[in-house]
Amino acid sequence: MKAINKINILQKIIKDHILNKNTIGFIPTMGALHKGHLSLIQKAKHENDIVVVSIFVNPKQFNKQEDLDRYPHTLEQDKALIQDYANYVFCPDVDEMYPTGFQSTIHIGDLANILEGEHRPGHFDGMATVVLKLLHLCQPTRIYMGLKDYQQCLIVEQMVKDLDIPTKVVGVPTVREDSLLALSSRNLLLLPKDKKPAAQIFVALLKAQELILGGERDARIVERTIKAELEHISKKIDYVAVRSLSLETIPTIDQDVVILVALYLGGVRLIDNIIVRL
Ligand code: AMP
């Protein structure tokens, strides 16, 4: 695996691979890599000639300075974890990506204003800006996105469609700890005492799935039931939402749905979701 931190070097390498007609799998990440990231990278290796991983903690997608300041950085460990699977790791510094005078931002429409977007203003525009820049740099055949960040995955799909980017977006299922807690770089910030309650998030989602498969069709009742469960573990729940797979609000569950949750545990913001197929 070759580490690259300059854009012009990456561009030259990608140009050569495109000339050789190699397919390129690309995985954008913010580092602090874990087995969730690894599943995206392994899938990409299986499906493409070469694999490019980016590690860049993108300041533009953090709406709170404090959140950015304490985001974990584990670059050397990250490289060791992925070296057998990725051909290239692109890890630029902030000035390389956003040099003085940088002015452009991608603005996403309504899909970016709900759920995560409502609670993290500007987050998705910042994410889309860096992902579009990385797509231009890597020109991947496929980009791999985790379904753990369900709304993010939909937004990237929408952007790729709207802007005619010749890349397929591949959504990859969430990898979990044995406790069922979704793996996340932010789990490193959880206090030991909050680990057990954190695992209850997916337990509540599984109970909701059971409720729906048992015949409950009122989306608000399902939301209220999950919220009541989660209030035992968190004092700050940003949202619990039963939505269509394209994230529209639905009063009645008459189609496959996704249930999404965001909450705080000891100051750490966690998100998770479950797709329920009728
Ligand atoms: P991040 O480094 O948090 O920006 O995540 C980079 C990519 O990895 C995103 O597409 C995430 O959705 C994905 N990802 C993060 N955690 C997991 C997980 N537990 N399982 C699968 N994919 C994940």
Q: Quick: pLDDT tens for 137-151.
A: 999 999 999 999 999
The mean pLDDT of the chain is 97
pLDDT of residue 161: 98
- Ligand 1 centroid–CA 145 distance in Å is 7
Of the candidates 17, 34, 37, 123, the residue annotated as catalytic is 37
pLDDT of residue 135: 98
Looking at the fold, whether 103 and 222 belong to one and the same domain comes out as no
Q: Is 84 exposed, middle or buried (0-12, 13-18, 19+ CB in 10 A)?
A: exposed
Cα–Cα distance list, 249 to 183, 229, 241, 252 (Å): 27, 21, 8, 9
The response to whether residue 37 sits with its C-beta less than 6 Å from ligand 1 reads: yes
Looking at the fold, whether 25 and 56 belong to one and the same domain comes out as yes
pLDDT of residue 28: 98
Give residue 128's pLDDT band: very low, low, confident or very high (50, 70, 90): very high
Cα–Cα distance list, 180 to 127, 185, 200, 223 (Å): 27, 15, 8, 20
The response to whether residue 60 sits with its C-beta less than 6 Å from ligand 1 reads: no
Comparing CA positions, the residue from 156, 3, 157 lying closest to residue 79 is 3
Residue to mutate, 77, 148, 154, 167, ligand 1, most ligand atoms under 8 Å from C-beta: 148
Q: What is the pLDDT of residues 231-277, one digit of tens each?
A: 999 999 999 999 999 999 999 999 999 999 999 999 999 999 999 99
pLDDT > 90 in the chain, percent: 99
* Closest atom of ligand 1 relative to the 148 alpha carbon: 12
Cα–Cα distance list, 261 to 95, 169, 245 (Å): 34, 23, 14
Looking at the fold, whether 11 and 141 belong to one and the same domain comes out as yes
Looking at the fold, whether 91 and 191 belong to one and the same domain comes out as no
- Ligand 1 centroid–CA 215 distance in Å is 32
Looking at the fold, whether 153 and 112 belong to one and the same domain comes out as yes
pLDDT of residue 114: 98
* Closest atom of ligand 1 relative to the 146 alpha carbon: 12
pLDDT of residue 234: 98
What three-state secondary structure class fits 216? Answer: coil
The response to whether residue 184 sits with its C-beta less than 6 Å from ligand 1 reads: yes
Q: What is the pLDDT of residues 4-39, one digit of tens each?
A: 999 999 999 999 999 999 999 999 999 999 999 999
Give residue 111's pLDDT band: very low, low, confident or very high (50, 70, 90): very high
pLDDT of residue 71: 93
Question: What would the two tokens of residue 183 be?
Answer: 């793996």
Query: Which helix (DSSP H) or strand (DSSP E) does residue 204 occupy?
Result: helix 192-213
Residue to mutate, 37, 51, 181, ligand 1, most ligand atoms under 8 Å from C-beta: 37
Looking at the fold, whether 149 and 271 belong to one and the same domain comes out as no
What is the residue range of 110's domain? 2-172
pLDDT of residue 222: 98
Say which range, 34-48, 60-74, 85-99, 121-135, has the weakest mean pLDDT: 60-74
Instruction: Spell out the residues 6+ positions from residue 6 whose beta carbon is closer than 8 angstroms to its own.
Output: 92, 96
| 247 torsion bin: left (phi>0), alpha (psi -120 to 50), beta (else) | left
Looking at the fold, whether 21 and 151 belong to one and the same domain comes out as yes
Comparing CA positions, the residue from 74, 27, 77 lying closest to residue 54 is 27
Whether 37 sits among the annotated catalytic residues: the reply is: yes
pLDDT of residue 255: 98
Looking at the fold, whether 112 and 10 belong to one and the same domain comes out as yes
pLDDT of residue 9: 98
Looking at the fold, whether 197 and 259 belong to one and the same domain comes out as yes
Give residue 184's pLDDT band: very low, low, confident or very high (50, 70, 90): very high
β pairing state of 268-276 and 2-4: unpaired
End position of a domain, from candidates 172, 207, 225: 172
* Closest atom of ligand 1 relative to the 184 alpha carbon: 16
β pairing state of 257-265 and 268-276: antiparallel
pLDDT of residue 185: 92
Terminal-residue alpha carbon distance, the chain:
43
With respect to residue 177, please indicate whether it lies within any of the assigned structural domains: no
Cα–Cα distance list, 25 to 28, 45, 46, 72, 190 (Å): 10, 7, 9, 25, 32
Looking at the fold, whether 127 and 210 belong to one and the same domain comes out as no
How many domains is the chain partitioned into structurally?
A: 2
Looking at the fold, whether 157 and 246 belong to one and the same domain comes out as no
Looking at the fold, whether 8 and 99 belong to one and the same domain comes out as yes
Instruction: Spell out the residues 6+ positions from residue 132 whose beta carbon is closer than 8 angstroms to its own.
Output: 106, 159, 163, 165
